[in-house]
Structure 1
Amino acid sequence: MERDYDGSEYDTEGSNGFAAVPDAFQRLWTPHRIAYIENGQQPAKDECPFCVAPSLDDEKALIVARGTHVFALLNLFPYNSGHLLICPYRHIATYDLATPEEVAEIGSMTQTAMRVITEVSHNHGFNIGMNQGKIAGAGIAEHLHQHIVPRWALDANFFPIIAGTKAIPRLLGEVRAEIAAAWPA
């Protein structure tokens, strides 16, 4: 047993000898993420994948739908099968820079994506969100994009933690074709 600054005792056995004040949080150590923190992995503006994608063939770019102001494409590094991104065509960094038309189309395309993904993959829920800026964890911080991640009961596993591997049960091209085919015209 160790003594805290106020004289109370606490057990540090679970901390491998490091001094710590116990709290209610579990720690998930992910040292592989340090590359994103240290390097940022941000592309040069002329190499922005969300600016380049609309100029490519939909299949090659993994685009499943195109709107007037935004488009939907599969995430090249998905958390789950069917992980989509909704991106404006304009190269803007944050949601507050989007026009009312872009905001409305991001919303309507998100709703359509949820319906289509549920129809083709029978998922049980979604994680939806935007990481705004490098400090907030945006993989591509300079181009606004919203994540739509389908979730299933029991889909969480420890491969990423134990083996540095993500178990994605379906190929990107297969998922893109299925979602694109089910997208309403």
Structure 2
Amino acid sequence: MKNLWTPWRIEHVLGDVPKPGGCLFEPDTCCSYDYKARKATLMLYRDNHSVVLLNRFPYANGHLLVAPLRHLSCITDLTEVENCALMEMVKAATAILKMHLKPDGFNIGCNIGATAGAGIADHLHFHIVPRWDGDHNFISVLAEIRTIPEHIEATFDRLFPDFFALNQKNV
């Protein structure tokens, strides 16, 4: 039998992860450009219109969440400026993932409302999930286990410099 190591999940399994107050996409530490503060919240990017986080419980390595900065629940509530900025961020984040992780494809989408599967229904967000040929097999179906080949903090370290550079360019 082979072991599947997912050490970043142990705090969640043991119940040691503090319940965040407020919205996942709006933690106070994210206003800071401090690397340690960003890494603690997995916040790769934030500007006046959008925010990008690594999904703490990913479907695949590099699974990103891209959200408008403004707290709203439906795509129809975006202003034209917010809509354009959000789609540009989805495009830029996809390009960064493509460069660093070299996936064979992507699943990109959003679930609007709890009935549609949104885990965080009150703040609109897109999922960008890199996919590789043969990346998930029978184990997901039979054991409800996902295999993630890289520790989430290593993925953060790999992606952060490009998101930081993008942030500096957009300031």
Q: Give 1 or 2: higher helix fraction.
A: 2
* C-alpha distance in 1 between matches for 2:48 and 2:140: 37
Q: Which residue number corresponds to residue 159 of structure 1?
A: 139
**Cα displacement (A) at 1:67:** 2.4
* C-alpha distance in 1 between matches for 2:56 and 2:73: 19
* C-alpha distance in 2 between matches for 1:180 and 1:61: 12
Equivalent of 1:50 in 25, 30, 38: 25
**Structure showing greater Rg:** 1
Q: 8 Å contact 2:25–2:51 — kept in the other structure?
A: no
Q: Which runs of 5+ in 2 are unaligned?
A: 1-18, 167-171
Spell out the pairing of 1:5-154 with structure 2 (5 A cutoff): 47-52=22-27, 54-55=30-31, 57-154=37-134
Q: 8 Å contact 1:64–1:177 — kept in the other structure?
A: no
3-state SS of 1:79 partner: coil
* C-alpha distance in 2 between matches for 1:67 and 1:113: 14
- Per-residue deviation, residues 127-157 of structure 1 (Å, max 9, x unmatched): 0001000000001000000011111111121
Divergent runs of 4+, >6 A: none
Q: Which runs of 5+ in 1 are unaligned?
A: 1-42
RMSD: 1.9
**Cα displacement (A) at 1:55:** 4.7
3-state SS of 1:82 partner: coil
Q: 8 Å contact 1:66–1:72 — kept in the other structure?
A: yes
3-state SS of 1:50 partner: coil
Q: TM-score by structure 2 length?
A: 0.76
Equivalent of 1:179 in 155, 159, 163: 159
- Per-residue deviation, residues 35-61 of structure 1 (Å, max 9, x unmatched): xxxxxxxx99x5321222635721111
Q: What letter matches 2:23 in structure 1?
A: C
Q: 8 Å contact 2:136–2:146 — kept in the other structure?
A: no
* C-alpha distance in 1 between matches for 2:86 and 2:71: 14
Q: Which residue number corresponds to residue 5 of structure 1?
A: none
Q: 8 Å contact 1:92–1:143 — kept in the other structure?
A: yes
How many residue pairs match? The answer is: 142
Q: TM-score by structure 1 length?
A: 0.71
- Per-residue deviation, residues 8-29 of structure 1 (Å, max 9, x unmatched): xxxxxxxxxxxxxxxxxxxxxx
Q: 8 Å contact 1:86–1:147 — kept in the other structure?
A: yes
Question: Identity rate of aligned residues, in percent?
Answer: 35
* C-alpha distance in 1 between matches for 2:31 and 2:144: 33
- Per-residue deviation, residues 81-118 of structure 1 (Å, max 9, x unmatched): 00001111211001111111111111111111111101
**Cα displacement (A) at 1:182:** 2.7
